[in-house]
Chain A
Amino acid sequence: QVQLVESGGGVVRPGRSLILSCAASGFTFNAYAIHWVRQAPGKGLEWVAVISFNGDYTYYADSVKGRFTISRDNSKNTLYLHMNSLRPEDTAVYYCAKDETGSSWYGADSWGQGTLVTVSS
């Protein structure tokens, strides 16, 4: 079955960088778009970014545009989120989520378990 496993979270100082990974299995990874979604402690879900099945198209939330970069390596079935200039308000559990389509952005049908990022001095 579909499995998404996030890793790379931890505690990081404001202004520093961090790279999250999402290892996928159980489906044809290179056929589907993948999202990053985050959830601050005690808050709701916030979409972060999406990448198309082949990496040609990416979209970002305004809150992370210019600081975060989503990418994928289809040969490794792995999704990444490069996070730069981190701020305390980026503190959240980060989930990767598989879209139902390759590039039509319908919505996610499977989610990982999440990885916690804490930005604090």
Chain B
Amino acid sequence: QSVLTQSPSASGTPGQRVTVSCSGSSSNIGSNYVFWYQQLPGTAPKLLISRNNQRPSGVPDRFSGSKSGTSASLAISGLRSEDEADYYCATWDDSLSGWVFGGGTKLTVL
């Protein structure tokens, strides 16, 4: 059971907008930055969004992040087949004194 809660799966058709949600508590999302990672099959995770909503250089502006209270969201617009991957949210948890991850959301592009 992950400290951060994500839906196990999401799907959309090419061109659609999809949202992946991440729910936590006051000791983690509520008081720390949220990071989002994309993991393509057989590869290492890659940073998509840092500090709630900052897009690193090279990440398309189709990807955006937001945070409100103890929840965070990753939005992917103009869905493309190459977006099919697992997506993880992560943040520091002050009570656990550790970094915590969501269980991951598998995105399927139909």
Rounded to whole angstroms, the CA-CA distance of A46 and B51 in the bound complex is 20
Is the beta-carbon distance between B44 and A113 smaller than 8 angstroms? yes
The tally of CB-CB contacts under 8 A between chains A and B is 68
Is the beta-carbon distance between B44 and A35 smaller than 8 angstroms? no
Rounded to whole angstroms, the CA-CA distance of A111 and B34 in the bound complex is 17
Chain A positions within 8 Å of B56 at CB level:
109
Rounded to whole angstroms, the CA-CA distance of A100 and B104 in the bound complex is 22
Chain B positions within 8 Å of A112 at CB level:
44
Task: Indicate whether A44 sits within 8 Å of B100 (C-beta atoms), given known contacts A95-B45, A108-B35, A109-B47.
Answer: no
CB of B103 within 8 A of chain A? yes
Identify which of B2, B34, B44, B46 gathers the most chain A CB atoms within 10 Å of its CB.
B44
Query: B110 to nearest A CB, angstroms?
Result: 23
Task: Indicate whether A47 sits within 8 Å of B100 (C-beta atoms), given known contacts A106-B33, A109-B50, A109-B56.
Answer: yes
Q: Which of A47, A108, A109, A110 meets B98, CB within 8 Å? A: A47
CB contacts under 8 Å to A, within B21-73, are 32-35, 37, 39, 44-47, 50-51, 56
Q: Which of B45, B92, B97 meets A106, CB within 8 Å? A: B92
Is the beta-carbon distance between A100 and B50 smaller than 8 angstroms? yes
Chain B positions within 8 Å of A109 at CB level:
47, 50, 56
Chain B positions within 8 Å of A62 at CB level:
96
Q: Which residue of B lies closest to A50 (CB)?
A: B99
* Chain A interface (Cβ < 8 Å from any Cβ of B): 35, 37, 44-47, 50, 59-62, 95, 97, 100, 105-114
A-B contact pairs, 20 of them (CB 8 A): A37-B101, A45-B45, A45-B90, A45-B104, A47-B98, A50-B98, A61-B98, A100-B50, A105-B92, A105-B99, A106-B32, A106-B33, A106-B35, A107-B33, A107-B50, A108-B35, A109-B50, A110-B47, A111-B46, A114-B44
